[in-house]
Structure 1
Amino acid sequence: MQVSPVARKFPPRAVNAEDAAIGGRLRAARVLAGLSQTVLGGRVGISFQQIQKYEKGHNRIGGSRLQQFAEILNVQPGYFFTATATDAAALPAESFANRREAIEMMQLFGGIQDPAARRALRTIAAALVGIKLEPQPIAVVTEARAALPPTIDLEAA
């Protein structure tokens, strides 16, 4: 197989860490907004394959396109730049923040209005992974107990 002269001059571009970080933030915002790649692509006039390339960092996202995404996803344009290249390089592509389950858990947790219930859920999650949290003041523990169903015992956790 013969390689074209153009291919020799322009080898495939490696994924840049900043592009991957911006793409990861795009994916997180899209999933939090409850949009599929197809729907997001349709709203800006591109294919879902192009959204995939953006999210993986294979293609760079221009400024005007980032502005469109920010408006659709209801985030500030600067949101896409909060992760740095070193942050992205330190995390594997399938890091916790990029998993759908993690994003769903954040959505659910954010929907819990009662602060005591949020603290109780945090305590349960810590116990499940074997992390001992710093002691809370007595009033906070009492609040958390009151928010739990009677079958859950914080002392056993």
Structure 2
Amino acid sequence: MRKVRLAHPVDLHVGKRIRQRRWLVGVTQQQLAERVGIKFQQIQKYETGANRVSASRLWDIADALDVPVSFFFDGLESSDTENAETHDSVPADLMGDKEALDLVRSYYAIPENQRRRLFELARVLSDVA
């Protein structure tokens, strides 16, 4: 009889952060796997928390995604409050939302001078609401 292992909350959090960063920089699971030297199925397992990421592999993933290893642990203290909201009524897991990540990626694709004007417009609109 096989023992079923439930994913540890830290493994789930690290996997979610890998997926978030990968989406943010526009890298597929296949591309990340190739950069790290593994199969894309392994990236899938890391992202779902089904498999734990070893320290050396996490180092390689951080290098491939151009972030410090600590990035994958950011926000861990509040990970058990998954549905909590921050003081600005922004969902705690905003960067776990693919639409939000696409919006951020699109925002940074806008030329800087236009991006600043868009940012100021968003600020004014949010103050009105």
Shorter-chain TM-score range: 0.7 to 0.9
In our comparison, the structure showing a higher alpha carbon Rg is 1
Structure 1 residue 104: Cα displacement? 1.1
Structure 2 gaps, min length 5: 84-92
Structure 1 residue 22: Cα displacement? 0.7
Spell out, residue by residue over 1:23-67, the C-alpha distance to the aligned partner (whole angstroms, 9 max, x if none): 111011111121111111122222222111101111111111011
Cross-structure match for 1:104: 102
Separation in 2 of the partners of 1:45 and 1:16?
Answer: 25
8 Å Cα contact 1:20/1:88 also seen in 2: no
TM-score with structure 1 setting the length: 0.65
Structure 1 gaps, min length 5: 127-132, 136-156
Separation in 1 of the partners of 2:26 and 2:57?
Answer: 19
Provide the secondary structure at the position in 1 that maps to 2:79.
helix
Structure 1 residue 91: Cα displacement? 2.0
- 4+ runs of 1 displaced by more than 3 Å? none
For 2:20, which of 18, 24, 28 is the aligned residue? 28
Provide the secondary structure at the position in 1 that maps to 2:122.
helix
Cross-structure match for 1:69: 61
- Residues 1:90 and 2:75 are matched in the alignment: no
Equivalenced residue count is 117
Cross-structure match for 1:78: 70
TM-score with structure 2 setting the length: 0.78
Q: Percent same amino acid at aligned positions?
A: 32
Separation in 1 of the partners of 2:64 and 2:99?
Answer: 22
Cross-structure match for 1:129: none
CA shift in 2, pair 1:118/1:41, >3 Å = same
Cα RMSD after superposing both structures: 2.1
Cross-structure match for 2:34: 42
Separation in 2 of the partners of 1:57 and 1:87?
Answer: 17
Cross-structure match for 1:15: 7
Residue type of the alignment partner of 2:58:
L
* Higher RCO (CA 8 Å, separation ≥ 6 residues): 2
Separation in 2 of the partners of 1:111 and 1:118?
Answer: 13
